Structure 1
Amino acid sequence: MAYVINDSCISCGACAPECPVSCISEGSGIYVIDQDVCISCGACASVCPVGAPNEE
């Protein structure tokens, strides 16, 4: 299952450079994950200071 970023995102950007398939981008107020590209590796979740990325 792909990861999604929930509303607790603080838009710090820590997750985006960790994504090996570059599927994380800055959205409107929070970062977003392209679920069609996400490989569910968890790299984003491991660096997020607020635990915003979660497996859907």
Structure 2
Amino acid sequence: MRFGHIERKQSFPLGARCQISSNTTGGYQLTFADYPTIKADAINVEGLWQAL
């Protein structure tokens, strides 16, 4: 799995449980569950930009 400081890479959610499973063609599947999320309506958009 490609990750880190490289070009084409995957993102991994922090705080998630994951399970990796192999398949019959020599590949794998990575499944994430129970990771924290932010509700969009809880974000104060005006507070994201500050005048310099």
Q: TM-score, normalised by structure 2?
A: 0.22
